[in-house]
Amino acid sequence: MEGGDSREEEEKKMVADAAEEDEDLFRCCWEWDEEDIREEGLPACQQPSFEPEPEDEDGIVIPTPSYTSNDGGLGGYQRNEEKKQVEEEEASFATDFYSCGTDWSALLHDVDNITSTPITSTSIVNVDNHHRHHHSNNKRLKQTNLFQLWGFSNSISDAALATNHRLPHTCTPTPPPPNKKMKSALLFPTSSSTNATPSISGSGLVHQQRPLVCPFYKKIPGTRFTVDAFRYGLIKGCSAYFLSHFHADHYGGLSKGWSHGPIYCTSLTSSLVRMRLYVNPLFVHPLELGTEYVIDGIKVTMLEANHCPGAALIHFLLPNGQCYLHTGDFRASKLMQAYPLLTKQRINVLYLDTTYCNPKYRFPSKEDILNFVVKITKIYLKKEAKTLVIVGSYSIGKECVYLAISKALGVKIYANPSRRRTLQSFGWSDLSENLCTHGNDTPLHVLPISSLKFEILERYMKTYSNRYTAVLAFRPTGWTYTETIGSRLDLIKPSSRGIVTIYGVPYSEHSSFIELREFVQFLRPEKIIPTVNVGNASNRDKMQSYFREWLKG
């Protein structure tokens, strides 16, 4: 019994640690104070029309729930506002683009009998298909017409679209108890949620929350695949759920009770899904980078995305020759222009991470930022040897920043137990061998990026006041970039209060505007679908104008 209790306590602690790290930035987005606004940018509701929304897990856009009003009159105001917005966006190309039908699965009849064949370890893996012929002549949505308008014919036959694919019944895990939900459930519905749920407003009025509908840009046309669409629960007609990387805005909706279908992701991401979210391993299918797999008759290859550990570009090649590339989150680089899959065949549709698709974002290279961080650290340590160096990080990501400091100074890296377990799961020897378990053993610590505030760092410093007399912290994120500084990193001015100094450095794991342009001009896709900052017509129109300019000639 004692062993069982110990394991249960450890599991509870791991869940709590994971929830704390993944919710750090969620709390930041909701609890704005004066310093947040000055240093991180205004909340989304106050952003200028084409400013990216505040970053969470490198680009999260926290969904705003929609409600069916039952407030005896207040709903009329909401309806008027919606009508006004519709009128303002009328006749816009982007509106037509995004307001077309969102549910590809409506083209199919319900699927009853679903089976699956596990992936083998060969370089090309054939996932067994079981076709069921049917007809859906009277189920057409505008979404079909969109791709027909682009000149794409139906990618595969109706019979192929009806391919049934699910795990055996013996693999279905028991849903979690209703009361055991992580805090993130406030932002993302649980994976088993398919019905509308009531919520209570501050005025005490009860509203009925509409179930979230998976948008079309998360579905791959001509397939039954979705990408990063877990928060929509069970998606009708979806046979395979792809996860581009392990950041909360992409895996939101995944939980211990997931049972909607197989999850495909890179090996490193699959380890995190099992370890951090406790998803039943029978649902998780790891795919090696650079290896071609055949899933439901579609050739799928994961490519290094240069984002966070385990992040992948997902390349889909359909039987009719149509080729789609979903970037997830990525930072484009020259190395990607050497990927054979991207050079030998044209991409028909590119699903593009447009987090920084704005001309003002022209980031310095990662190497320049790392050199700058190391230089500043050495300068401060020369002035005050008893300086505690802190690097802000997400649950995963930004590892290169503290690794660079570790190697330059020859010191180890301290992180809390939850982060250490995560970092060790990467299998990176140069990282695992440089982790330590006690904060007193090294002057280099890693904290959640949302903890890099004066009052928090001052409290943290008290724990080590017998060893250190000052704190030097780095906040590495693209949101700290300013046009006035650009690539002249020596112009960066830190924020200081008492013994704490904080540097915001524009180290981004997303593509800058110039990198996006170069990537698009290299690929020259037929169509581009932006996946970030698509919340209003102004943003979408602006991005489409950039795409047209990039593809001229």
Distance CA 430, CA 419 (A): 16
What's the mean pLDDT when you consider all of the chain?
Answer: 74
Pairwise CA distance, residues 372 & 376, whole Å: 6
412: its two tokens:
């180890």
Cα angle value 309/261/225 (rounded, 5°): 70
- Residue 33: exposure state from Cβ atoms within 10 A (0-12, 13-18, ≥19): exposed
Could you tell me the two tokens for 301?
A: 């290859």
In the structure, what pLDDT confidence band is assigned to residue 189 with cuts at 50, 70 and 90? very low
pLDDT: which is higher, 436 or 486: 436
Beta bridge partners of 126: 294
Compute CA distances 345 → 326, 336, 349, 524, whole Å: 15, 14, 12, 11
Cα 374 from chain centroid (whole Å):
28
**How far is it, in rounded angstroms, from Cα 85 to Cα 344?**
43
Which is higher by pLDDT, 412 or 12?
412
Provide the pLDDT for residue 486.
73
User: How many whole angstroms separate alpha carbon 152 and alpha carbon 38?
Assistant: 47
Task: Report whether pLDDT(173) > 60.
Answer: no
Work out the number of other CB atoms within 10 angstroms of the CB of residue 519.
24
CA angle 143, 328, 543 (to 5 degrees): 65
Q: What angle do CA 439, 440, 445 make, to 5 degrees?
A: 35
Q: Which residues contact 205 (CB under 8 A, 6 or more apart)?
A: 70, 71, 74
What does DSSP assign to residue 51? Answer: S
Parallel, antiparallel or unpaired: strands 323-326 and 219-220:
unpaired
- 365 or 8, which is more confident? 365
Rounded CA gap, 9 and 505, in Å?
Answer: 39
User: Which parts of 453-512 fold into alpha helices (H)?
Assistant: 454-462
What are the tens digits of pLDDT across the range 111-134?
333 333 344 433 444 444 443 344
| Residue 207 pLDDT greater than 90, yes or no | no
Greatest mean pLDDT among 5-14, 59-68, 350-359 lies in 350-359
Mean pLDDT of 93-101: 43
**CB distance 433 to 346 below 8 Å:** no
Strand, coil or helix: what is 313? strand
User: In the chain, pLDDT over 70 holds for what percent of residues?
Assistant: 62
Tell me how far apart the 2 most distant CA atoms of the chain are, in Å: 75
Q: Which of the four pLDDT bands, split at 50, 70 and 90, describes residue 482? A: confident
pLDDT, residue 74, reads 37
Distance CA 199, CA 185 (A): 13
DSSP state letter for 191: T
Write the CA distances from 302 to 227, 294, 305, 317, 501, integer angstroms. Answer: 12, 12, 9, 12, 40
Q: What is the mean pLDDT of residues 319-328?
A: 97
Angle of helix 513-523 versus helix 537-550 axis, rounded to 10: 50
Contact 208, 68 (CB under 8 A): yes
Strand order in the sheet with 323-326: 125-126, 292-295, 298-304, 312-317, 323-326, 349-352, 527-530
Residue 8: band (very low, low, confident or very high) from pLDDT cuts 50, 70, 90: low
Bigger pLDDT: 373 vs 142: 373
* Whether residue 85 has pLDDT greater than 80: no
Q: HEC profile for 139-152?
A: CCCHHHHHHHHCCC
For residues 462-466, average pLDDT = 92
3-state secondary structure at position 309 = coil
Per residue in 221-239, pLDDT (tens digit) is 999 999 999 999 999 999 9
Mean pLDDT of 495-517: 94
pLDDT at 365 over 80: yes
CA distance 19 to 276: 9
Q: CA 373, CA 511: separation in Å to the nearest integer?
A: 20
Q: How far is CA 295 from the centre of its chain?
A: 23
Separation between Cα atoms, residue 325 and residue 321, nearest integer Å: 13
The C-alpha torsion from 184 through 402 and 302 to 293, rounded to 10°, is: -90
At what angle are helices 366-383 and 399-409 packed, to 10 degrees? Answer: 50
Which pairs from 435-438 meet CB under 8 Å and 24+ separation? Answer: 436/412, 438/414
Cβ(388)–Cβ(464) below 8 Å: yes
Q: Is 519 left (phi over 0), alpha (psi -120 to 50) or beta?
A: alpha
